[in-house]
Structure 1
Amino acid sequence: MAQEYPADEARPRRRGRKLLVGLIVLLVLVAVLLVIADRVAVGVAERAIADRVSQEVTKQGAQSAEPDVEVGGTPFLTQVLDGRYQRISIKLRDVQASVEGDALRLPVLDVDARNVRASLDTLRTGQGDVVADTVDGTGTISYDSLAALLDRPGLTLGEQGGKLAVTAPVDILGQKLTVSGTADVTVAESGAVALRFNDLDAAGLPNLPLARTLLNNYAKGISVDVPLPDLPFQLAVREVRPLPEGLAVTADAKNVPINSAG
């Protein structure tokens, strides 16, 4: 036979269960509201940073599409109170800048700022600096814009076996030939991209010293230091690597503002 409890004892238990369920529901609602508030705050911060980045790009005489900004790390609001953010990622598309009268284009420039310091007052007023301990940037220079800077009719660039490859029509001793070969690509002390075409040849090249000299002179003519535009956030180029989609540029900086004082 089932044991029966007095009615006055069962009612407090039911009330206790209802109170517990109500408390759990309340906590869930509070958690949801905090998450929503956190995400809203992130969106506001990302839009504000995007506006400041656009201003900085314009100040440096460059152009780009509207930046995409992502503030990493959760929860965001605790980072606001602490004044330190784990990561801010910025993607700039179709970056263009004038280099000696020619336009050098980077289809995408990815910037990753770590350990970013920004006071609550800076975020509230828009005044002051947002400073990152480290900033890393990666971008790709299109081969078409690089070839335009070399200014040789018909010259095309690409990647071959991890090296920068060149193909171009040449006229040597009255013969129209196609020159091809590869180049060494390094970063010069000035920060420019140094191109050194040391291994060029042309099918059908006459077996004459003068023909070889003319080909070597052509190689020297396209072996130049290509100046890069000033990158945002004081980024300094450290490495360049030929990839199928273009010349990959890696840059970094330390302890720099990712926006200027307002």
Structure 2
Amino acid sequence: MTAVLSALRVRISTAVLAASVVLGTALLLWGADTLARWTVEGYVARQVQALTGVLEVPSVEVRGTFFLPQMLSGRYEHVEIGIEDLRSGPLRLERMTAELTGVHVAFRDLVGQNVVPLYIEESRERATLTFEDLNHYLDVTGRPVVVESAPDGEVLLTGAVEVFGQAISASSRIAVGTDDGSLSVRPTGLQTGTVLDGAGEALLRQRFTFLVPMDPLPFGQRIVAVAAGDTAFHVQAGGSGVVVAP
């Protein structure tokens, strides 16, 4: 009986030891995986800040259940980035979020914390361009028009422009669209108290039509959709084979 109890105790001790080893190994791997994820997220955030020149460090989240294999391979399947106050020249975007697929960061660059261009296989971006920021851009670039909300939920464009040497005040509902890497704005029904001939009307319509290059977008400037909100335009863009460099 004593021998049986002794053998049982040995088996229990062995099982407990094995379970402890497995649990300890799992905790070590989980800790190493989490630490590696934090390291890469911090590195990518600093990289994006250095490459885009934004004042605040972007938010970065690297997805994936098992992270160490991504780290060692230097390719991250899914990375989500958020940037506030993104600027290029006179144009400011209030906020941009991006979903990136296939972000390449060499392990040696990660270890050395080197600032190098980022290569991204695919990107999807969403950016907010407020009417206030757009009006600042139009003012700085010499376009005497203003974008504002209309009472019926549409967007109105007003201004006084020169037509054949005469200052003409006008307003119009607008249509927004895409033109390669730019947001396009065109009038849909100009209204003015001045009588104009056909050439004058055509020139007035031209004065109220403009493009806004989406140069601040860092992960691809191919605009795929634009929607107008109460106080801002919401822009969707994308890119493939994107290289982010200073």
Normalization by structure 1: what TM-score? Answer: 0.74
**Which amino acid in the other structure matches residue 229 of structure 1?**
D
CA drift of 1:89 comes to: 1.6
Indicate yes or no: 2:22 matched with 1:33.
no
**1:173 aligned residue:** none
1:169 and 1:117 map into 2 onto residues whose CA distance is 47
1:218 and 1:148 map into 2 onto residues whose CA distance is 21
State the Cα deviation string for residues 151-185 of structure 1 (Å, max 9, x = none).
4789442378885x116487xxxxxxx96542111
After superposition, residues 31-180 of structure 1 pair within 5 angstroms as 31-58=26-53, 63-98=54-89, 103-127=90-114, 130-151=118-139, 155-158=146-149, 165-166=155-156, 168=158
CA drift of 1:219 comes to: 5.1
**2:166 aligned residue:** none
Indicate yes or no: 2:175 matched with 1:184.
yes
**Which amino acid in the other structure matches residue 10 of structure 1?**
L
- Asked if structure 2 preserves the Cα contact closer than 8 Å seen for 1:68 and 1:90, the reply is yes
1:154 and 1:17 map into 2 onto residues whose CA distance is 82
State the Cα deviation string for residues 123-169 of structure 1 (Å, max 9, x = none).
22345654221122211111111123344789442378885x11648
- Asked if structure 1 preserves the Cα contact closer than 8 Å seen for 2:147 and 2:158, the reply is yes
Q: Which has the larger radius of gyration?
A: 1
Aligned pair in 2 of structure 1 residues 42, 259: CA closer, same or farther (>3 Å)?
Answer: farther
- Asked if structure 1 preserves the Cα contact closer than 8 Å seen for 2:87 and 2:216, the reply is no
Indicate yes or no: 2:212 matched with 1:226.
yes
**Which amino acid in the other structure matches residue 253 of structure 1?**
G
State the Cα deviation string for residues 220-249 of structure 1 (Å, max 9, x = none).
433222233243244333332213351112
CA drift of 1:113 comes to: 1.4
What is the alpha-carbon root mean square deviation over aligned residues?
3.3
State the Cα deviation string for residues 89-134 of structure 1 (Å, max 9, x = none).
2211111222xxxx32211111221122333223223456542211
Query: How many residue pairs were aligned?
Result: 235
- Asked if structure 2 preserves the Cα contact closer than 8 Å seen for 1:198 and 1:219, the reply is no
Identity of aligned residues (%): 23
CA drift of 1:24 comes to: 1.4
Aligned pair in 2 of structure 1 residues 106, 18: CA closer, same or farther (>3 Å)?
Answer: same
- Asked if structure 2 preserves the Cα contact closer than 8 Å seen for 1:116 and 1:133, the reply is yes
Gaps of 5+ in 2: 161-168
